[in-house]
Amino acid sequence: MEDTFRGNRSVINGTSLLGRDVQTQMLASKGEATEHWSRIENCDCPFVMEERKIPLGTDEIGAILADAPFSVRVSGTVSSLAEQLAQFPRAMIEDVKILAERFSKLTGKELLRVRVEGVTTNACKKVHADYTDVRLITTYAGPGTEYSLHGDANCCLARMPVGAVGLFKGSLFGEGHEPCFHRSPPIEGTDAKRLVLVIDTLRRETN
């Protein structure tokens, strides 16, 4: 499957891998990007990736990662997230706001959970599917998230480019939808540092 947008519009490539669709898109207009994200709702599409330029400068990233390792977790409405993330550079806050607004529109959920992490060791190095409906992950610096589309948690891992936004279907998405297996890339023993943003819907805990 291939949809081509002419002129100044982007190209979307859908590549079927063992019956599954992965949707990738270069940075597009807001309207095109929102429509593209909705493809995660297709039963044969466990993963959607939107490639883009890194929205933070090298100096900003370096200043943030100087405090790594760290994990900042906040939750609430999109409008409340900026105030809770005030310790980060304005460019990052604006990026989180834009992504959170789009994610909220996609999922229909007003309350979101946001996690910003500076990673220096192996975090979630086991290939797994998230116990959620859908999760957004983007890596601002360091190796990107690794993912598999083959239904085999230990087979054929690909790596997201730095800056790209990924939507990962979780095990709770719904009947007939298979999740996307993924992991954080192993970096322990290297000098690598990762700056990662994760956005989830805010689900009530049940006993």
CATH assignment at residue 146:
2.60.120.330
Q: Which residues, at least 6 apart from 157, have a Cβ–Cβ distance to it below 8 Å?
A: 127, 146, 147, 148, 183
Question: Does residue 23 fall inside a structural domain?
Answer: no
What is the pairing mode between strands 47-51 and 20-26?
parallel
- Joined together, the tokens standing for residue 20 give 């599954």
The structural domain count of the chain equals: 1
Question: Does residue 127 fall inside a structural domain?
Answer: yes
According to the model, what pLDDT value does residue 36 have?
A: 84
In percent, the amount of the chain with pLDDT more than 90 equals 59
Q: Is residue 1 predicted with pLDDT exceeding 60?
A: no
Question: Does residue 11 fall inside a structural domain?
Answer: no
In tens, the pLDDT along 71-82 reads 999 999 999 999
Q: Which residue has the higher pLDDT, 187 or 137?
A: 137
Residue 6's SS3 state is coil
Order of strands, sheet of 165-169, starting from the edge strand that comes earlier in the sequence: 2-4, 11-17, 20-26, 47-51, 165-169, 134-141, 194-201, 112-119, 70-76
State the residue range of the domain holding 126.
Answer: 52-201
Most confident of 2-6, 98-102, 148-152: 98-102
According to the model, what pLDDT value does residue 160 have?
A: 95
Question: Does residue 87 fall inside a structural domain?
Answer: yes
Question: Does residue 39 fall inside a structural domain?
Answer: no
To the question of pTM greater than 0.85 for the whole model, the response is: no
According to the model, what pLDDT value does residue 151 have?
A: 61
C-alpha distances in angstroms, 107 versus 21, 145, 173?
A: 20, 22, 11
In tens, the pLDDT along 9-58 reads 222 233 333 334 445 444 333 434 455 899 999 998 999 999 999 999 99
Question: Does residue 1 fall inside a structural domain?
Answer: no
In tens, the pLDDT along 121-160 reads 876 668 888 888 999 999 999 999 999 876 666 668 899 9
Question: Does residue 97 fall inside a structural domain?
Answer: yes
According to the model, what pLDDT value does residue 159 have?
A: 92
According to the model, what pLDDT value does residue 150 have?
A: 67
Q: Is residue 65 predicted with pLDDT exceeding 60?
A: yes
